[in-house]
């Protein structure tokens, strides 16, 4: 597990411990995911003015029309991506503030995270250095295209909603690799796509609400 800067300010380990207990009550059972959620200081990924709300189970704005997902959905998507396996390389589409990437970095050997908004990449790169998260590679690019240079991936996590699974991303999955994403426009569900040889199995899960996945860069 990655070393994160200790001590870290206004929220004690006890506060994060309460969040982890709530996640367990909500059905998150993967001990590695629960440990990751307890290790990553969520309050450092949001504006200081919102820091007192960091461990509530709610999404919060991070600027540029983007949000940091609520702790439950971050844990849920990480648990679905891991599926009890040891993860080597993971791709995240939609870095945002970097919180989901930081959690994934606790359960995977390497995380490649791609973000279309250059300003967010710059902010997150600085935060990543401060927290010494050395196994995350941040990329500024079009998430719809994924990052073929790093493929294949044991898991791909898409932190924004789209009406269909981007074909380019499916091809970047390793055998038995899992893609986890919110599927849909106004009405969204969590989707898991598993690669089996040349085919893909799809499983639709609970309703979710994410910002839309946009093509291109800005």
Cα 65 to the center of its chain, rounded Å: 17
84-to-1, 20, 87, 107, 205 alpha-carbon distances in Å:
16, 18, 9, 10, 18
CB 72 within 8 A of CB 57: yes
Catalytic, 12? Answer no
Among residues 81, 58, 36, the alpha carbon closest in space to that of 177 is found at: 81
44-to-5, 174, 180 alpha-carbon distances in Å:
11, 33, 25
Catalytic choice (12, 29, 52, 69): 69
Cis? peptide before 152, omega within 30° of 0: yes
CB 194 within 8 A of CB 215: no
Query: For the chain, what percentages of helix, strand and coil (3-state, to nearest 5) are there?
Result: 35, 30, 35
Q: What is the DSSP letter of 55?
A: T
Cis? peptide before 39, omega within 30° of 0: no
Among residues 169, 192, 174, the alpha carbon closest in space to that of 182 is found at: 192
Q: Which residues are catalytic?
A: 69
């Amino acid at each position: 597990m990655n070393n994160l800067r200790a001590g870290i300010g206004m929220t004690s380990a006890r506060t994060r411990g309460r969040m982890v207990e709530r996640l367990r009550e909500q059905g998150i059972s993967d001990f590695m995911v629960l440990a990751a959620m307890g290790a990553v200081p969520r309050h450092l990924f949001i504006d200081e003015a919102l820091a007192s709300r960091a461990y509530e189970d709610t999404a919060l704005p991070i600027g540029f029309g983007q949000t940091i997902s609520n702790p439950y959905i971050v844990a849920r998507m990480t648990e679905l991506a891991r599926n009890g396996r040891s993860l080597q390389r993971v791709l995240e589409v939609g870095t945002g503030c970097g919180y989901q990437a930081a959690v994934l970095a606790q359960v995977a050997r390497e995380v490649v995270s791609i973000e279309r908004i250059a300003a967010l990449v710059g902010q997150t790169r600085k935060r990543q250095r401060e927290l010494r998260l050395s196994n995350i590679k941040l990329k500024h690019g079009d998430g719809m295209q994924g990052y073929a240079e790093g493929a294949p991936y044991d898991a791909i996590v898409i932190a924004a909603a789209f009406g269909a699974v981007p074909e380019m991303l499916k091809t970047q999955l390793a055998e038995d690799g899992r893609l986890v994403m919110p599927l849909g426009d106004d009405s969204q569900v969590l989707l898991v796509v598993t690669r089996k040889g040349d085919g893909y199995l799809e499983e639709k899960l609970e309703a979710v609400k994410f910002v839309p996945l946009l093509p291109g860069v800005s």
